[in-house]
Every structure is written in structure tokens, then in C-alpha cells.
Amino acid sequence: MSGPQAPDNQGSSTRPYLLRALHDWCTDNGLTPYVAVYVDASVQVPMEYVKNNEIVLNVSFEATSGLKLGNDFIEFRARFGGVPRDIVVPVDHVVAIYARENGQGMAFPVPAGPAAAEGEGATPAPAPARGLRLATVDPEAGDDEPPPPDPQPGGPQRPSLKRVK
């Protein structure tokens, strides 16, 4: 007789649950939830706002209409330049969710690009480093430590994410 075996499947992804939880946390605390999205052909966003295969979207209830934070997709309607647009983002393309006001949130791995879907067997070039960065918080130290230096001196200051243990 053999011992217990691990199940073959890994279960569902935790990402949609974490996205909903952090969205709720932002909303409950009067903060504005933003998501950073890795953009490829499977993402439906206004391409004129995409830079370096990434777009940052305000997903607050005030900025969206019909927001659905599903297990597979985030869907909503929002105005870009005054024009209403339908937005559809696969959950696995969300690379961060954070509060605009203080930068607290969570980052996720960039999805692996499907090699065959890009044509000619080429894989997409990796996205350049984003302005978002994780700052590890040492529970022994206070939260008054300065964030790590910006990787691009003189560049625009963007919120930093803190990983809470």
C-alpha cells in the first residue's frame, strides 16, 4: 500500500481571489485601485494608451461601469479621452494591483508568451522594467525606511509596492 499522493491538479489560480481582495481593501479604505496589465493580442484595451506592452487602468467603481472581477477576465466599460470603451483583461495578464494614493498592493509574474501565437515561432520580447517595484518590509524594522532608489534617475516618480509578510 502506498502513502498519500498529491493531487494531479494544482487547483485554480489564486490571482483572481487576490485581485478581488485587494480591490475590496482599496475600496473599503477610500483608496483608488489601479491594475498594471501586460498587453498582448488577448487583451482588449485602447492600444493608443499602451506603452512598452503595458497599460495601467483605474478599476475603481467611480471610473468604471459594469465592473466584473471574474476568475478568468476583468471586464468593464470606461472612458478614455471622453470616449466609452469596453475593456477585457485576462486575469493572468494583471501584473500588479495597488492603491494609487500609497502604492500598497501586490505584484504578479508577467505571463509567459505563447510562442506559436506570435507567428513564425517567435516569442515576444520581454517587457522592459516597469516603474513599479516591490519593497520588502522587515517586520523587525519600522515602516519608515526609505524606498529603494529609482532605477532610472530623473525619471517620473511612481508609486512603489510593498510586500507585506
* pLDDT tens digit sequence for 8-65: 566 788 999 999 999 999 999 999 999 999 999 999 999 999 999 999 999 999 999 9
- Give the pLDDT band of residue 160 (cuts 50, 70, 90): low
CATH topology for 15-109+132-144+157-163 is SH3 type barrels. (2.30.30)
Write out the three cell numbers for 81.
479621452
- Give the pLDDT band of residue 144 (cuts 50, 70, 90): very low
Cβ-proximal residues to 44 (8 Å cutoff; 6+ apart), any chain:
86, 87, 88, 89
Distance CA 139, CA 165 (A): 8
User: Model pTM?
Assistant: 0.66
- Higher pLDDT pick, 59 / 5: 59
Distance CA 137, CA 43 (A): 33
Residue 147 has pLDDT above 60, yes or no: no
